[in-house]
Amino acid sequence: MATAFFDRLADRIATVDSVVSVGLDTDPTRIPDHLQDKDLPQWAFNRRIIDATHEHAACYKPNAAFYESADGWRSLRETIAYAHGKDVPVLLDAKRADIGNTTRQYAKVLEEVDAITVNPYMGRDSLQPFLDRADKGVFILCRTSNPGREDLQDLELDSGEALYKRVAALADLWNTHGNVGLVVGATGPDELETIRQSVPDLPFLVPGVGAQGGDAEAAVEHGLRGDGVGLVNSSRGIIYAGEDRGKQFAKAAGQSAKQLKQRLNQYRDVE
Ligand SMILES: O=c1ccn([C@@H]2O[C@H](COP(=O)(O)O)[C@@H](O)[C@H]2O)c(=O)[nH]1
């Protein structure tokens, strides 16, 4: 039987002593000039970023939005294989879900990656093919990092509970294979704490530190499960750290990943 995703993630976190998720949000317009004439500039960029950051990376998190083109998907496939070659899990941030017939197609991408983000808005059946993959991680959007999260996620249900809390409770219920996590932004530290209290056993993916200015201490304190499993993501803050440094761009990304790891490790309980 394949090892469960969160067990593999726990091993990776221990190996690199890091909970940093390096976000590969590779915008074609922000790739340095000297790589623009490569066959696949996004792949050329990502390869150099992976070379420079992998020893600090608990996982890579490419966001599917940046690869929605023929060359983009080719670049993404090369990137995934290269990350795996360095023993780093890949979490595809795709925020998928749809009616059953469609979502079964979406879930096929789990053949390629180790984990995925999904959107709970359409309910359990829209997530079932992902949840059924006991060997893969499924991170359900719970309370996101963007300002507009309040429009829906904070709405009070008749029971008085906020919608995001109901999502957390449902995710816990749907976690029959131990493969479910939550996406909870670092920009709402109080809610992050509240959600952690309600679902102590779910690992979180916490985006929003770095470019969005979220709370790194809260991300670690509440984002990680009791056994230390969880992820804190930074994308632009790492991969574009050396945007003004020409051919040295990847070195700067490596330094930025290392700095984030050290910053987060100040707050981790590591024996
Ligand atoms: O609530 C959410 C869910 C997902 N994201 C994604 O994480 C990264 C954050 O990038 P930064 O450059 O570190 O801000 C990006 O892919 C988002 O789509 C999120 O930010 N918040």
pTM: 0.98
Q: How far apart, in whole angstroms, are the C-alpha atoms of residue 208 and residue 65?
A: 17
Show which residues are catalytic: 95
pLDDT tens readout for residues 187-222: 999 999 999 999 999 999 999 999 999 999 999 999
Is the CB–ligand 1 distance for residue 188 below 6 Å?
no
Q: Which of 215, 210, 261 is nearest to 236 (CA)?
A: 210
Residue 3 confidence (pLDDT):
86
Structure tokens at 75: 């670049």
Domain of residue 133 covers: 5-265
Separation of 106 CA from ligand 1 center, angstroms? 20
How far CA 169 is from CA of 11, 141, 246, in Å, comes to: 27, 12, 47
**Is 157 part of a structural domain of the chain?**
yes
**Is 271 part of a structural domain of the chain?**
no
What CATH number is attached to the domain comprising 122? 3.20.20.70
Domain count, the chain: 1
Residue in the block written with tokens 């920009």:
187
Q: How confident is the model at residue 271 (pLDDT cuts 50, 70, 90)?
A: low
Is the CB–ligand 1 distance for residue 119 below 6 Å?
no
The DSSP bridge partners found for residue 60 are 22, 90
Residue 196 confidence (pLDDT):
98
pLDDT tens readout for residues 241-253: 999 999 999 999 9
For residue 1, is pLDDT > 90? no
Output the residue whose Cα is nearest ligand 1's atom 5: 207
Q: Is the ipTM of this complex over 0.95?
A: yes
Q: Which atom of ligand 1 is nearest to the CA of 144?
A: 1
Degrees to nearest 5, angle at CA 56 with 50 and 60: 50
**Is 270 part of a structural domain of the chain?**
no
**Is 153 part of a structural domain of the chain?**
yes
